[in-house]
Amino acid sequence: MGVIQNILAVIVVLGVLITFHEYGHFWVARRCGVKVLRFSVGFGKPLWSRVDRHGTEFAVAAIPLGGYVKMLDEREGPVDPAEQDQAFNRKTVWQRIAIVAAGPLANFLLAIVAYWLMFVVGTTTVAPVVGSVAPGSPAEQGGLSPGQEIVAVQGDSVRSWDEINLKLVAAIGHSGALSFSARDEGSSSARDYQLPVDNWLVRQDPPQPLPSLGLEPWRPSFPAVLGQVLDGEAAGQAGLQPGDRVLTVDGEAVDDWLHFVDLVRASPESSLALEVERDGETLAVELTPGRNELEDGVVIGYIGAGAEPVEWPEEYRREIRYGPLAAVGQSLSRTGEMSLLTVDAIRKMFVGLISPSNLSGPITIARVAGDSARTGLETFVSFLAYLSISLAILNLLPIPILDGGHLVYYAVEAVRGKPVSERVQAMGLRIGVALVGSLMLMALYFDLMRLW
């Protein structure tokens, strides 16, 4: 079921992103007087198509990994003299620039709308309160202590651990000190702290900002009470039921859910003697965790059970909500921030500060899309917005075959007053295909490595 959900989620995500991107090209092309022959979402044989009154064929094809807008163009075949004024190549260089740039701009617009919707509807997060500080870590050296709420990183205010992670990832490669502001519990005033770092997170795969600083977020105590039990897994086979409270494991008292998880993970395929409280009675249960191998080859125990949900205290909750007008500024700011973060990540990957193994392909996108869809609409919309920004920036890279490569050609034409020669464009096309093909193969390789 999880695989099916992932596939459906990635089809929805890519379908929305591709449709918006290609519609940007299509909409501006129509307004510049260019005849559009086909608007296709997907590649390959069309599964559905229809032709409108302008002669444009709209199609949904079998391979949902891209799309295209085919325009009338004398470089691609003979054009009826009566329609030559509608050919793409006959338009001014500024019109062609507008048509090519419209695709990425449509993706930026989609991200802005998605973030605006999130800010208007409102999101609930938890306060970034420090739970523990590792001895000898940068956090301890800087003076942070458990119970403090972090309110700013590198001079920018933060309201959640997600925002903190974004600020920290943006600082990859930094040496010196990371600036934090935090306030003690019950205090309204914040103090500044300097956390010493050197070549911050350079080539760490994957980057783990909080553990690298020695910070552990505060979480409420989760009692060792089962909230769900999966059919056919070890917990269900042992007779455990939702609502059962685990008291001891092999005679050792269980403190909380995380303690119980540690005991299970350390005992793959080993019999455990449990004492369980159910409806006021104490029961003895024999539990044999299954075997689960992680990506790094470590084998852990697995029983197919989840904890009973625990409500976060009200004082630790933060609701982020804006009015329709204020949300416009916030959505523009968030889109700009994520765009700069993406561009900077690409730059750091090229100079070696970030490992290229962080590249993601369709498999990882499918997994993350499925996970975000299962988490909730808010997470799914946020992922959609970020992926839309990534698609826009990727297409704007100055690589022949991408929109950015065409924009470079047209910019040169605007300066020189004449088009780039066909020989140079043909050479650029071959280079572009090689570069994009290599990136796709690298992303697929790292996808498969994560899967294994």
Which sequence positions are flagged as catalytic? 22
Q: Within 13 A of 229's CA, how many CA atoms are on the CB side?
A: 16
Residues 6+ apart with CB under 8 A from 70: 36, 37, 38, 40
Instruction: Report how far residue 344's alpha carbon sits from residue 189's, in angstroms, rounded to the nearest whole number.
Output: 33
Q: Which residues contact 262 (CB under 8 A, 6 or more apart)?
A: none
How far apart are alpha carbons 238 and 305 in whole angstroms?
Answer: 11
Amino acid symbol at 9: A
Rounded CA separation 88/91 (Å):
6
Give the separation between CA 192 and CA 433, rounded to whole angstroms: 50
